[in-house]
Structure 1
């Protein structure tokens, strides 16, 4: 919120900040021309396309993230969140190679999808009377936020030929939540195979990160990708 307010005052814009020519000049968002700056694969979460983007992500974090942290602890939730954030930027660099990334949707979607999958698996053991309502509200927020991201991606860009931020980070977060997140969250009925699955998913995630690193080092030049001019 502090970063958003700072750029809101700096750009004098609170809705669709991404339409400001100075938005992507910040050292925080991921940009394909700046992919060698490794911190951008994580720091992009501090930038948001506008107040509607920030508001939806905050709503999902408060609706799902806070209760999850109270039950499972900050370490587990933090791990899922950071893994979702990193996977989000790497997925964009592989799938939507010419697009920048902003927003915390990768981490948020990892939390929400992990929670929804965990609720489904442990439905009978959960005694929360509002679990169905919370799931429904989370799905509504996810759908609205994802729809906004897809619309913004194909909206006429503010800095031609640079495209608007990609929505593919959402997909990376969902995959992390449905795989790594499910086994990181504590289940009410622990089984031996869950420990086995944990190490499988950790290994697969590690291989994906290594693949993403090599992809960013070599693929752009080998494929001769035409990148937008750096902001």
Structure 2
């Protein structure tokens, strides 16, 4: 049913004789059931819940039109924000007769979106095009690069200790700061199977569902911002350390999603799903391992010592930038005031890091290891 036919029916039934632009929610619900109108039950629930958040308990024509055309008005977004629209939690879980793909979409909705109404909205309006290609492509590229270097060096663990590994044009090394692409391309290089395996697992398990919900642009921006912040932070705080691995981007995704769930729903760790619990356990253990290797290295002193600052920088980017990006998965970023504040802060950090890398090493007389 299109917008004009439904509004025409409302006018014919004289449900709004004074032309106020509003009708009672109960009256509208009765109209739908009495005439057996083909309105999506989930959308009807959303509309009634929206009306219940209105002091007068009425449905607005514009809200009705926006809902039918799958658009969200500003009042609809405000109703989401005030949390007064309670839909049954098991609505989607009890949906019968779903195929494999729709079941996966339902799983993504429940794992990524903390509000039930957003889960319903996403489930019923999700389209498979465009597919989540960014995280899958990055992960595939990382695996291919690792396999190529593993076969070439005949080394699959602690590759950074092979003398030829650090000569790669992809690795970030403080002696090659002028080659700016290295601040990003280091994400394709990994120390060994352990680091690659866990990073790839988290990227596919968390990054792909996030990209399905929030889109390629937002997730790629968040991931790359974490990667770039990781290498720049190391160049400022740990000036002798090279960097490999995509942990900065992975930490940005995980921390952004966890923070968004906790902030929006007020849930504690005991209420989060199993894979959300796995992420902080895994990332925390990796940070602890990196700290141990950095300050008490049981490895050859001649080799490069890992830095844990890239992990922390990615987490900070995720909590700050990610909360803005993930809070409203439909609202455009440019319409959010908080987005511009976060963008300005990140831009200020980038400018500071650029000037630091140009001038600070010489001014401080930093003794960096010779580049390979």
The aligned residue for residue 182 of structure 2 is: 40
Instruction: Give yes or no for contact 1:100–1:165 (8 Å, CA) kept in 2.
Output: yes
| CA spacing shift, 1:158–1:134, aligned 2, 3 Å | same
Q: Give the distance between the partners of 2:238 and 2:266, measured in 1 at CA.
A: 40
Matched, 1:99 2:241: yes
Unaligned runs of 5+ in 1: none
Matched, 1:74 2:216: yes
The aligned residue for residue 224 of structure 1 is: 365
1:74, CA displacement in angstroms? 1.1
The aligned residue for residue 16 of structure 1 is: 158
Instruction: Give yes or no for contact 1:18–1:164 (8 Å, CA) kept in 2.
Output: no
Query: Which piece of structure 1 moves more, 144-153 or 73-82?
Result: 144-153
Instruction: Give yes or no for contact 2:214–2:329 (8 Å, CA) kept in 1.
Output: no
Matched, 1:197 2:328: no
- Name the SS for the 1:49 alignment partner: coil
User: How many residues were matched structurally?
Assistant: 224
Q: Please report the TM-score for the alignment, with normalisation by the length of structure 2.
A: 0.57
Matched, 1:26 2:168: yes
Matched, 1:172 2:313: yes
**Higher normalized contact order (CA 8 Å, seq sep 6+, divided by chain length):** 1
Unaligned runs of 5+ in 2: 1-142
Matched, 1:148 2:306: no
Q: Give the distance between the partners of 1:81 and 1:33, measured in 2 at CA.
A: 25
1:156, CA displacement in angstroms? 5.0
Q: Which has the larger Rg?
A: 2
Instruction: Give yes or no for contact 1:29–1:43 (8 Å, CA) kept in 2.
Output: yes
Instruction: Give yes or no for contact 2:291–2:308 (8 Å, CA) kept in 1.
Output: yes
Instruction: Give yes or no for contact 1:84–1:107 (8 Å, CA) kept in 2.
Output: yes
Q: Please report the TM-score for the alignment, with normalisation by the length of structure 1.
A: 0.90
1:16, CA displacement in angstroms? 1.2
Provide the aligned C-alpha RMSD in A. 2.2
Q: Deviations over 1:125-183 (max 9, x none)?
A: 9xxxx9421221111111222223223334255572x6323121111101100101110
- Name the SS for the 1:185 alignment partner: helix
Q: Give the distance between the partners of 1:188 and 1:93, measured in 2 at CA.
A: 33
